[in-house]
A and B are shown apart, each in its own frame.
Chain A
């Protein structure tokens, strides 16, 4: 389907109303006209029904843009997309963007559930848009940005707080000692790799953090993703005891593991099936053992 734009002349001068205080620049006027034309096209697209007779699905998509007049007030837009077997929420969003409204904004990249950039709130649950089949959802499909995060624009949220919490647990391997030979491995038992394996699968999508009631009420709570990251290293046998103790001290702080109320919402939404709640409970047990040593 074409979104060919009608050619418009650039005669803005004739319509200029002189402003008493400050003359708007030519660029401002052009931008204004352009916004008007964009709004006009959106209206036309909304009214026309080119998909009559096709198997379509309805999307209700959250819209907001702090920069553009008319979009500063959050609203939902409806898009109708032709449905094909195997279509995902991301496919539908791309169709809507490329066909109806190129300003519709969302993050996406790998479309195979590994880059973690397209976590959204779809029909009331945090999901990765790329691995959510439309056929599994009831119509209309309501698509919103991740809750409990600042919305930058449309479905894009500010991830900075999430990244900061990840940083707070010193998220890097830090072994006490390494083999002297640069060609020799540190060795890790298969069992130990199994222990940490699931925790290493995190793709930083932020779905868990967004679903967590505690994180919503306590901005300083490290949250499930960061605690899972801490688990990944604290449980790795190669790091050594003293480093492990330091790690446990980080997660035992006031806004650490003890805040978790085992509601399992993080585990429920994790697109990589990481047993986040279990990992947090395991850390609580380790923390208790750690303290017992000193009591």
Chain B
């Protein structure tokens, strides 16, 4: 069903979580005609599931410089200082901006917003709204979008980017996106006169035990990757230490922030008693706690060989109801446990992707007119390990910067370079199998592939969009008419091998095995088919398209993990359990080079505005 409709706006924001909504508001404030295109209605976005809070240095005794220092240390020195400093400098203003928009923060006696301690922070600077900060943030921001009359195309899945096809990705430009209206099956072009901002969120569906929503399939990352934009630091996946064992539902770090205690099966407070973090105990950073829990389980001190206990009973009913009420409901509804009466079972689960689309501190990618913000992007502010409470400020700070930039506001020259140019180092990497290649339904999956055949580069924006739309129409036709393997089988095969081999603890053999399994899944994807023939709300088709994205992301993640033979932040390697600053103080980058994933590196930027962050041993 080809479509002649083309929607046209100055700025197109893809995704309507915290980052997308903030970017849209900023672009509109800067005078742009902006539209949001989103797979889910904005209030369904996964930002709503964030619980803990927003780090912002807004109190006497705290400073954005201290916040930056903590973040750099937490990142295990894999964060880029210009991005981290932007995050910490802007967060106070952006957090109070939310307060001015009416967000229902928790309050102190004097009516100011409350803050609490979080893991890895040297000051209690996590601003929060009960244990539902993300829900409050998402709704507050959506309210402002409604107030401003910003156009939202909801339940429109963006399938691909309209990017020109010059040989070198750094010469390409983005002129829009191709959308698929889930309700009607219509495929339409969205022409962006000034810029496209990807804000598509997480990619947790690569794993089978995750706090992420079912919709978090990394669509933006995979689309940008196939259009030639590098993915950065994909091997760094955060495993949150406290998720419910049966579902992966998140139990906020706020529980430990308020004084919650972790016990093993023998009733020991293992963070101290087994020496994992003698100073900070339960409030060590997330990677440290997740490894400690699994070590307890692996050494036979877990409960039912699977989990440990998180106890908050001693905090008292009043404090729990005031600050952690949502946690009581989650434990009750999803695990049948009354948190006021018993400890809650918890284990680590996939939670957050530190890596993503390579951007500079304004959200720009190496493709002109293409931006990325939020969890799908890597600026990089989290490096090898994200501190709790640093994801929400990332959404609002970089959402705003990218929105203003895309709408044409002038900024200083970026200090972070993007794209394969300048100071990079090719990787010496051998995979056990052939990687990359093909997509179901179309031989070339982005406009960016054609010039490699010696063809003329198409540069006219409308023509680029038209070609992109035609490709997606052809792909959908083929998927709907073809019969074959169900996406669900492929998706679960990917999730199983990733959970078995690319989890908290990683070793060479397992990582290679994962790549072999992923190759096999890719081959099966060649025969994928959609059995639902309907044009109305065809989730079979939607999930089939998403599965392709999951495959590409899983592969890049595993490649990066196999190549990085050191232990840094969330990335633990059995073969080399020490941080190796001499060889690995660098970002992993993976480019889609005509269907062949290309792995290379770029040094970390440790120079901030006024100081250099010297790597130190990270102890808590």
* Cα–Cα, bound, A174→B335 (Å): 40
Contact of A115 with B44 in the complex, beta carbons under 8 Å: yes
**A-contacting 9-mer, from B100-108, B371-379, B432-440, B549-557:** B100-108
A173→B140 contact, CB < 8 A: yes
B323-346 at interface with A (beta carbon < 8 Å): 329-330, 333-336
From A48-56, A101-109, A215-223, A280-288, give the one contacting chain B: A101-109
**Residues on the A chain within 8 Å of B101, using CB:** 173
Of the residues B40, B135, B144, contact of A172 by C-beta under 8 Å: B144
Q: Output the least CB separation between A183 and chain B (Å).
A: 5
Residues on B with beta carbons closer than 8 Å to the beta carbon of A156: 537
Known contacts A34-B481, A171-B143, A182-B97; decide if A114 and B48 are in contact (CB<8 Å): yes
Interface: B431 (CB within 8 A): no
Q: Pick the residue among B110, B183, B536, B540 that contacts A102 (CB under 8 A).
A: B540
Nearest chain B CB to A84 CB, angstrom units? 9
Could you tell me if B534 and A5 are in contact, using CB atoms closer than 8 angstroms?
no
Query: Does A291 reach chain B (CB closer than 8 Å)?
Result: no
Report if B445 contacts A (CB, 8 A): no
Residue B191 at the chain A interface, CB threshold 8 Å: no
A193 to B104, CA, bound (A): 7
Q: Is B532 an interface residue (CB 8 A)?
A: yes
Q: Which residues of A contact B329 (CB under 8 A)?
A: 113
Which residues of the other chain, B, contact A108 by a CB distance below 8 angstroms? 214
Which listed segment binds A: B245-253, B558-566, B583-591?
Answer: B245-253
Separation in Å of the A149 CB from the closest CB of chain B?
14
Interface residues as binary, A188-215 with B (CB distance below 8 Å gives 1, 0 otherwise) = 1110010011001101100000000000
Interface string of B465-492 (1 = CB under 8 A from A): 0000000000001001101111111001
Q: Mark A174-185, 1 if CB is under 8 A from B, else 0.
A: 110011001111
**With A and B bound together, what is the CA distance between A171 and B145 in angstroms?**
10
A68 to B185, CA, bound (A): 13
Contact A98 B214 (CB under 8 A): no
Q: Say whether A131 faces chain B, with CB atoms less than 8 Å apart.
A: yes
Q: A67-B535, A187-B112 are in contact. Are A203 and B146 (CB under 8 A)?
A: no
B41 at the interface (CB under 8 A from A): yes
Whole-angstrom distance from the CB of B470 to the nearest CB of chain A? 16
Interface size of A as a range: 35 or more
Total residues of chain B contacting the partner, CB 8 A: 74
Q: Is the CB of A115 within 8 A of B213?
A: yes
| A94 CB to nearest chain B CB (Å) | 9
Of residues A103, A108, A112, A183, which shows the largest number of chain B Cβ atoms within 10 Å of its Cβ?
A112
Interchain CB contact under 8 A, B104 and A31:
no
Q: Which residues of chain B come closer than 8 Å to A7, judged between CB atoms?
A: 483
- B146–A200 CB distance below 8 A: no
A181 to chain B, nearest CB (A): 9
Q: Return B331 CB to nearest CB of chain A, in Å.
A: 11
Known: A190-B109, A193-B107. A103 touches B531 (CB 8 A): yes
Report yes or no: A4 in contact with B485, Cβ–Cβ below 8 A: yes
A180 to B390, CA, bound (A): 27
Distance in angstroms between the alpha carbons of A115 and B142 in the assembled complex: 13
B46 lies within 8 A of A115 (CB): yes
Complex Cα–Cα for A94 and B545 (A)? 18
Q: Is B536's CB under 8 angstroms from A112's CB?
A: no
B2-60 contacts to A (CB < 8 Å):
40-41, 43-46, 48-49, 58
A-B contact pairs, 25 of them (CB 8 A): A2-B489, A5-B531, A7-B483, A34-B481, A38-B533, A67-B536, A105-B539, A106-B539, A110-B44, A111-B247, A114-B135, A115-B46, A115-B213, A117-B41, A131-B334, A152-B536, A152-B537, A167-B146, A173-B102, A175-B100, A183-B93, A185-B99, A190-B111, A193-B105, A197-B104
Known pairs A37-B483, A115-B48, A185-B112 / 11 extra A-B pairs, C-beta < 8 Å? A30-B481, A103-B531, A109-B215, A110-B214, A113-B333, A115-B213, A131-B333, A153-B536, A190-B108, A193-B104, A200-B136
The 8 closest A-B pairs by CB, nearest first: A173-B102, A187-B111, A103-B532, A172-B143, A172-B147, A98-B488, A67-B534, A109-B213
